[in-house]
Chain A
Amino acid sequence: MFFIGIFGFIVRKNMIAILISLELILNAVEINFAVFNRYLYPEQLDGMFFTLFGIAITAAETAVALAIIINAYRSIGNIDVNNMNKMKG
């Protein structure tokens, strides 16, 4: 899942699709934490807590990213990353 996410982040041109790929990456990490916790260290809860915090932070991240993408859409007119080329160097 992590590498599908990375692949999507690099290949996709639509910003919403990139955001979905980001979600894939973060969800992969959260599952990773939960699984490590469940199978390797069942006596403690560190990993589970990390997963919970991670989900909350990911949600906040998506909200902010969507707001910024909408802002970009208003000023640029579409959400294709190829149009994000005002600055080069």
Chain B
Amino acid sequence: MDFNNFLLMGQEIGLIAVFLILFAYDIIASDKLKRWFYPVACFLFAVQTAWGFFPLPAGEAFGGLYVASGLTVLMKNILNIATLLVFLQSYTWLNSEGTRHKAGEFFTIALVTLLGMYLMVSAGNFMMLYIGMETASLPLACLAAFNKYKEKSAEAGVKYILISAFSSGILLFGLSFIYGAIGSLYFSDITLSVVSEPLTILGFVFFFGGLGFKLSLVPFHLWTADVYEGAPTSVTAYLSVVSKGAAAFALLFALYKAFGQIEVVWEPVLWWLSVITITLGNLFAIRQTDIKRFFAFSSISQAGYILLGVIAGNAQGMTATVYYVLVYVFSNLAAFGVISAVENASGGKTSIAAFNGLYKTNPLLSFVMMLAVFSLGGIPPFAGFFSKFFIFMAAASEGHYLLVFIALLNTVISLYYYLLIIKAMFIKEGEPDATGRFSSDVYNKTSLALCTLGIFVVGILACIYENIGNISFGI
């Protein structure tokens, strides 16, 4: 056995080390020591995040099962940053009555799901992809049901586990046909011998359907709103950003590396799915009254925009997709940070009405929310504008003008409903019993500051986009 292979898995091993330390700490430490659990966990994970920015070796391990390249390291860094921000936002919730005794479990479970996502991103073989996906989605179902005594949370957990098991069954069914047609599960072998014959296409359709559930594209999106509403807010943030980002990266690799030769087959599929996803996501978002459901549909339509970058199928599209996810991480997490702050202060209210008059009581929070929403909607000075711009450029460079036009129309629709939140915060009067001025905990403040910084800096610093561009590749 060649142990050199493990050198390539530096980030995974680091993550497992963090996991084991926290796990032992959670079990062994006395109650007195446990007070330090939260800062220690955040600090360790911050170290792990920072470590990813040092140059790491690239190559293939275990006969091509595992692939490490500059791009996978970058994707893992994005996932790391997002997870760190979610951890920082979860402080008040984890210290509340029902969850204080199991705060450690939240971290350990979340780290296991993150490990699964690492494997998804680094997979060079469909078996690895599947194992990573299951490692990511099974613990996530436990997280969705984390508020044990809330009916909604239990319901969200049930819905998530059943749907994710169902979707992985469909995905596997597709994979079995691809295996039957080609005789290998390695991306590198498949790309050599894939041709558009009926068995491959059948397999591909099932495979794509299974992955579509994870990305919550439109015909497969029905679980999204329910699970997002029922799950605890921090978990919702995690689901909507980290889990979705990992699924997008995995889709990118599977399409480019394994099915790059049959682009004619998957391009029309992606074309229609992205149109339906963006449009329906936007239209349903308009009529939501619960802010978490609202962001569920908003994230569905964002997934449609991500597909727009994937469809381009060249290096530019890949760069734009990764960049889009990076920007989406900061903007969406800023929004969720504000949501959890408001939720904690108002005793668990998550309706949009709870935001009425927020500007009067908490100008700073409403300002951050405004930045986040503008960035999601794509208003110029913020990062969201540039990410949308690049993704439209990538799609247009391959001649998908009609698609870009439809997406642009949808941006206008999305601005309408994003502005509804702004209206609630700035124009509407707060109810008399609304929560007065409140102050969120220092961790949440840190995360919101980081997000705000991210929204500005990622948009303005051109070198970030160029860096991504240098290490990405097309078909």
Contact = CB atoms under 8 A, between A and B. Distances in A.
A87 B229 contact: yes
A6 B79 CA distance: 33
Contact of B155 (A25, A61, A65, A86): A86
A76 interface: yes
B232 to A, nearest CB: 14
Nearest to A46: B185
B179 A68 contact: no
A87 B230 contact: yes
Contact of B290 (A5, A49, A89): A89
Given A15-B158, A84-B155, A68 B165 contact: no
Interface residues of B, number: 44
SS class, residues of chain A in contact with chain B: helix
B128 to A, nearest CB: 10
Nearest to B139: A64
B224 to A, nearest CB: 11
Contact of B152 (A9, A74, A86): A86
B226 interface: yes
B161 interface: yes
Interface string B44-71: 0000000000000000000000000000
Contacts of A87: 152, 155-156, 225-226, 229-230, 293
Nearest to A70: B154
Nearest to A15: B158
B154 A25 contact: no
Interface residues of A, number: 41
Interface in A35-60: 36-37, 40-41, 44, 46-47, 49-50, 53-54, 57, 60
Nearest to B171: A29
From B131, B154, B157, B169, residue with most partner A Cβ within 10 Å: B169
Interface stretch (B140-148, B249-257, B419-427): B140-148
B173 interface: yes
From A2, A84, A89, residue with most partner B Cβ within 10 Å: A89
A84 B152 CA distance: 9
Contacts of A40: 180, 183
Given A68-B145, A87-B230, A54 B172 contact: yes
A89 B225 contact: yes
A8 to B, nearest CB: 11
Contacts of B151: 75-76, 86
B165 A29 contact: no
A54 B138 CA distance: 14
A25 B166 contact: yes
From A5, A60, A65, A68, residue with most partner B Cβ within 10 Å: A68
A53 B132 CA distance: 12
Contacts of A9: 166
Given A71-B148, A76-B151, A44 B157 contact: no
A32 B176 contact: yes
B5 interface: no
Interface string B7-39: 000000000000000000000000000000000
A50 B179 contact: yes
B226 A22 contact: no
A22 B169 CA distance: 7
Given A44-B183, A46-B184, A76-B154, A25 B161 contact: no
Contacts of A47: 179
A72 B155 contact: yes
Given A5-B169, A61-B165, A89-B290, A72 B158 contact: yes
Given A22-B166, A89-B225, A61 B134 contact: yes
B108 to A, nearest CB: 15
B158 A33 contact: no
Given A32-B180, A61-B168, A68-B161, 14 more contacts: A22-B166, A29-B169, A46-B183, A46-B185, A60-B134, A67-B142, A68-B141, A68-B154, A71-B154, A76-B151, A86-B152, A87-B155, A87-B293, A89-B284
7 contacts: A29-B172, A29-B173, A44-B183, A68-B157, A72-B145, A87-B226, A89-B226
